[in-house]
Chain A
Amino acid sequence: MEALLFLIPIALGLGLLGLVAFLWSLKTGQYDDLDGAAERILFEDDNEEAPEEPKEK
């Protein structure tokens, strides 16, 4: 039973961590543009022009 004394706080702490992470992501606007976020990962970070013309969808 002593195990509960640290297992329950750990479980709750992990849950809270998840909740805080979610609230933070919400606050920083990460749910505002779900379509764009999926494409953004494909961008080059540097400021050079892309070598090929972007394809029209």
Chain B
Amino acid sequence: MAQALADHYVRPHGEDEAELDLIVDGMHCAGCMNKIEKGLGALDGITYVRANLSTKRVAVRWQRRAHIPPITEKLSELGFEAVPYDPQIMGALDEEQGRDLLRATGVAGFAAANVMLLSVSVWSGLVSDMEVETRALFHWISALIALPAVAYAGQPFFKSAFKALRAGHTNMDVPISLAVILSAGMSLVQTITHAEHAYFDASVSLLFFLLIGRYLDVKARSKACSVAQNLLALRAVAANVIMPDGTISAVPVDRLDPGMKISVASGMRLPADGVVLEGVSDIDKSLVTGETVPETAAPGTKVFAGTMNLGAALTVRVTARNDETLLAEIVRLMEAAEQGRAGYVRLADRVSRYYAPAVHALAAATLLLWLALGAGWQTGLINAVAVLIITCPCALALAVPIVQVVATGRLLQRGILVKSSDGLEKLADIDTVFFDKTGTLTEGKPELCNREEILDADLSLAGALAARSKHPLSEAMTRAAAGMPLAEISDLQEHPGLGLSATWRGQEIRLGKKAFALEGLAEAENAQPAHSTNASEFWLSGHGAPCRFLFTDRLRPDAEAIVHALQARGLPVKLLSGDREEIVAATAKRLAITDWQGECTPQQKIAALKAAEADGKRVLMIGDGLNDAPCLKAAYVSMSPASAADISQTAADFIFQGQKLAPVLEAVRIARISRRLVLQNFGLSFAYNAVAIPLAVMGFVTPLIAAVAMSASSLSVIGNALRLNLTRFQER
């Protein structure tokens, strides 16, 4: 591993060890895990190897005095691709948060179990012969367990509630914190005065239930995020920088500085914006602009990060980031887009905006009512607090996270990663779908489309020429010629930006751009295309009559079905593409999309989106390119395929894997079912409140009733959410 890379990712561990985390692609089973741990463990100097099958990551430690062991080399020898991973940057926060929540859950669980043990004795003692002293003893023990537990395990809620209150609004955690603190506080007063009822059990079991919900929520999301991070990290992490002394060294992409010279090999993505210094090649810009036809790059050409070098190696000088580059422009647009989006308030918080003031008013009214009826202020206060305890939105707070956890798990099975916490809620609301074309509706890979016009002999010859080229059209040619006996050729040469040439039966044949293949031939003037073309083309010459190969970008296998299905569900579909007008028009026609726009700049895409939003539309944006990233960020909710540009995947709320578009439909379906379940859950918890609140106001609520009612409502909400697992997958 190169020194510069190692410096970036290796951390010291203890006195004399160094540690590195790697993301290992393709580690799926116990066998792989075993192979990796034993293979790396056998290397010199390695002291510790631990593979994590859940996160597909491997932690390695070695003695720092020794030189760095050839870890990635050994892994590739074993058949695994590995890239270093920096836990400081990515997602370490979530893991820590998950652990804290789990620890709090453990403490709350311990307290809930033991306090409940004592409470049950007290409850049964109330109807039999328990003496007042024994009851007081039990209450005191409960207090000793419950008060520290509440103080520790309640912190996630207290902090969030405090933050909300300080910002001048309320959230679900405000009534929760209030109920927990008041029930613990009132119980303490009851215990000191040797009164009959203490609510310690309600206080800690509330916390226990809520912490379980919150932990599952964090866990599900951090799992989806870690999968997404692995996908991203497996992309280019290093750029090959040409040092002033002529040596090449691998440097992390984020350490590139303007003025550095980088070498970009064939088939690599450009790590930064720059200007070509040496070399001639074709650049595939489809991820960046949506354009399917590659562009020729020669010295002096500006090239952009994220585009792919298809031909010969290029030397590129990195230009300033704050320059008027495409990437800088896109980042600016994204930042602007994000600000416009921050206004969304989650469903649960929207409910709590009305819920919290309502229950607090109700508690105050209860106090006044009892005072007006001539009861002592103590009785009034106890009943008012009972109202607050019984209305603690336990079921309400569980209603959303439980459904989200189940839904996120379901979608993960289908290869859909839910990245944002409010993505599912928003997806259920959408009424319009915007698609990008290249790489989203299509596979972003060209395909031969005039096979019937071409003689087998021509195809076999072209296939032989194209076999070793990485140009996307050559690769498409190779795919088309697969299974055919290839012609025997010699002297194969690649002319960057032009095409290929070779010798076949003593004569030179050429395959490539029209100007190159038909150079100096009489046919060049006559061979006009028979019809206006919307495809990219290759010409073959030197063997007889020149022959033309046409290519189009192939649609994803189920693109047509999915677009129709979306339209059938009342979701109008619009096509926004950076590709040429006529190509976009043809694609739109094939998919029966009437609303389309071609040759869009990122600004125009955003403008189209804003126009739709101004009409009150809620838009789902699906795109993969760099040019879609601002739109993905600006849209109400967004999705991108796993093949998308890094920046787009970061911007999107959902990422779907695989060749098909079916996950889009599936995600919308699951999101809608989830919303229905969430609303049902709200209904359930309100129904329970409708029964419990009058009892509390009248002063009939004992700790036993509170415990039973709360547990029952929480369990019914959880049970309802689990019904999502019963709906079948929709096969397409």
Contact = CB atoms under 8 A, between A and B. Distances in A.
Majority SS at the chain B contact face? helix
Contacts, number: 72
B358 interface: no
B29 A15 contact: no
Nearest to B133: A1
Contact of A33 (B38, B42, B53, B102): B53
B136 interface: no
A47 B579 CA distance: 57
Contacts of A36: 30, 33, 51-54
A26 B101 CA distance: 11
B646 to A, nearest CB: 26
A55 B33 contact: no
A26 to B, nearest CB: 6
Nearest to A52: B31
Given A22-B106, A50-B34, A39 B53 contact: yes
A15 B41 CA distance: 40
B225 interface: no
A40 B30 contact: yes
Nearest to A50: B34
A26 B52 contact: no
Contacts of B55: 33
B53 A11 contact: no
Interface in B1-51: 28-35, 38, 41-42, 51
Given A22-B106, A33-B53, A35-B54, A43 B30 contact: yes
Interface string A30-56: 011111100110110001011001111
A49 B141 CA distance: 57
Contact of A11 (B31, B33, B117): B117
Nearest to B106: A22
A22 B95 CA distance: 17
A23 B109 CA distance: 12
Contacts of A19: 106-107, 110
A32 B54 contact: yes
A15 B118 CA distance: 13
B413 to A, nearest CB: 14
Interface in B80-106: 95, 99, 102-103, 106
B103 A23 contact: yes
Contact of B33 (A4, A39, A53): A39
A33 B58 CA distance: 11
Given A11-B117, A26-B102, A35-B54, A57 B29 contact: yes
Contacts of A54: 29-32, 34-35
A16 B17 CA distance: 36
Nearest to B52: A33
B114 A11 contact: yes
Given A18-B110, A56-B29, A43 B34 contact: yes
Contacts of B102: 26, 31
B48 to A, nearest CB: 13
Interface string A1-26: 10010001001100110110011001
Contacts of B31: 50, 53-56
Contacts of A23: 103, 106
A53 B34 CA distance: 11
Contacts of B137: 4
Interface in B48-79: 51-55
Interface residues of B, number: 30
A1 B134 contact: yes
Query: Which of A15, A36, A40 gathers the greatest number of chain B CB atoms within 10 Å?
Result: A36
Contacts of B42: 47
A8 B117 CA distance: 10
B457 interface: no
A4 B106 CA distance: 26
A33 B54 contact: yes
A54 B246 CA distance: 45
B110 A16 contact: yes
B690 interface: no
Contact of B54 (A1, A34, A55): A34
Nearest to A11: B117
A31 B106 CA distance: 13
Contact of B110 (A15, A39, A42, A47): A15
Nearest to A43: B34
Given A33-B53, A33-B54, A56-B29, A8 B141 contact: yes
Nearest to B105: A22
Nearest to A47: B38
Nearest to B144: A12
Contacts of A22: 106, 110
A56 B33 CA distance: 12
B361 interface: no
B113 interface: yes
Nearest to B55: A33
Contacts of B107: 19
Contacts of A57: 28-29
A26 B104 CA distance: 11
Contact of B114 (A15, A32, A42, A43): A15
A15 B113 contact: yes
Contacts of B41: 47
Given A39-B30, A54-B35, A56-B29, 17 more contacts: A8-B141, A12-B114, A15-B114, A19-B107, A19-B110, A33-B54, A35-B53, A35-B54, A36-B33, A36-B52, A39-B33, A39-B53, A40-B30, A42-B30, A43-B34, A56-B28, A57-B28
27 contacts: A1-B134, A4-B137, A8-B141, A12-B114, A15-B110, A19-B107, A22-B110, A26-B102, A26-B103, A32-B54, A32-B95, A35-B53, A35-B54, A36-B51, A36-B52, A39-B29, A40-B33, A47-B38, A47-B42, A53-B31, A54-B29, A54-B31, A54-B34, A55-B29, A56-B28, A57-B28, A57-B29
Interface of A: 1, 4, 8, 11-12, 15-16, 18-19, 22-23, 26, 31-36, 39-40, 42-43, 47, 49-50, 53-57
Which 3 interchain pairs have the tightest Cβ spacing? Answer: A54-B31, A39-B30, A36-B53
